[in-house]
Structure 1
Amino acid sequence: MSSLIRAFDKITLVMHWIGGVFLIGMMVATLADVLSRGLFGMTDGAVDWTFIGGVELVKYSLLFTVLFILPHSVSRSQVIVDLFTEGLSQRRKDWLEALYLLCFGLLGVGMCYSFFHLMVESDLYYETTQDLLIPMSYFYAVASFATAMLALSAALQALALITNKKG
């Protein structure tokens, strides 16, 4: 069990790094868009280095940043309020955390299901993004994968807490 969790942890760590790359890409796209629009305004339109699709790049980079970082962070970033749990044993605290993680896993399953159906529907009608004309089914497929990984990560971490076999 712990070797499975460690292997899955490595996969989600790579996803975490990819999420960081999306975050940097989002910042670069925003900076480039602001600078090019500023240059366009300062030269009264003489220098037009503006580019189409900057808003879409930022929008989908933000989506992928969040979805790729969540699977690795779901069990590491929880705030525990000792006021409510100070009288509980460590075992009960682990059970409460496992219940929370299972709920997070259910959220991931629901999101995966929704993104999968959006992928099928957008592929059926060949729906594309407005400016860049990229098929929406690609975005939904990646989002479906990332949310499935979130669900699996949360479920594995919850199972490890319940069985006292932390990876």
Structure 2
Amino acid sequence: MQALSFVSRQLARLCLLVAGLALLGLMGVTIVDVLLRLVFRLSGGALNWSVIGSVELVRYLLMFSLLAAMAASVERSQVVVEAFSHGLSPALKERLGGIFLIGFVVLGAVMAVGLWQEASIASQRGQVTQDLRIPMAPIYQFGAVLCALLALRSLVHAALGTLFATEGGGVHHG
């Protein structure tokens, strides 16, 4: 069980790195695009510089950052409604949280399979992005991997929450 927790933490760190890099890229593209539009406006149209494909870049970087952040924070992302769980023991709350995570397992798995199928179709058809002509298959494949990580981490934490919850609350590490 400690090995599962360790692997899950390492996967969370990797996902946070991906999310952070994607957000930095997204912000970089946005800032450069805004500055170049400002230069265009200030020059009266003489300097027609722009970031080609900025909308595409922002779209896919946002997708990667959201999927990676979801996968990184599955164990912390639940909202507990105190009105419903007020009288429950901490162990029962932990088990209910674990059962709730099964939904994320299903969601992540369905999204991963769907994106992988889209990657296969995009590869067969030679689909590329509209502006930058980037092949779509690797974009879908990377999204599928991030969704699979969401499903995997949710499964690990669902198991830890439902199977290994102790009566004092929290997960038993013994």
Q: What is the match of residue 9 of structure 1? A: 9
Letter in 2 for 1:83: A
Query: How much is the aligned-residue C-alpha RMSD, in angstroms?
Result: 1.3
- Confirm whether residue 30 of structure 1 aligns to residue 18 of structure 2: no
TM-score where L is the length of structure 2: 0.91
Q: Secondary structure at the match of 1:75?
A: helix
Counting matched residue pairs gives 167
Q: Deviations over 1:19-50 (max 9, x none)?
A: 11111110111111111012112212211221
Q: What is the match of residue 75 of structure 1? A: 75
Unaligned runs of 5+ in 2: 166-170
Unaligned runs of 5+ in 1: none
Q: Write out aligned runs for 1:119-158 (5 A).
A: 119-158=119-158
Greater than 6 Å deviation, 4+ residue runs: none
User: 1:91 & 1:119 partners in 2: Cα distance?
Assistant: 41
Q: What is the match of residue 43 of structure 2? A: 43
Question: Following TM superposition, by how much is the alpha carbon of 1:119 offset from its aligned partner in structure 2, in angstroms?
Answer: 0.4
User: 1:51 & 1:24 partners in 2: Cα distance?
Assistant: 16
Q: Deviations over 1:51-71 (max 9, x none)?
A: 211111110110000011111
Which shows bigger deviation, 154-163 or 89-98?
89-98
User: 1:144 & 1:51 partners in 2: Cα distance?
Assistant: 27
Q: What is the match of residue 85 of structure 2? A: 85
TM-score where L is the length of structure 1: 0.95
% identity of equivalent residues: 34
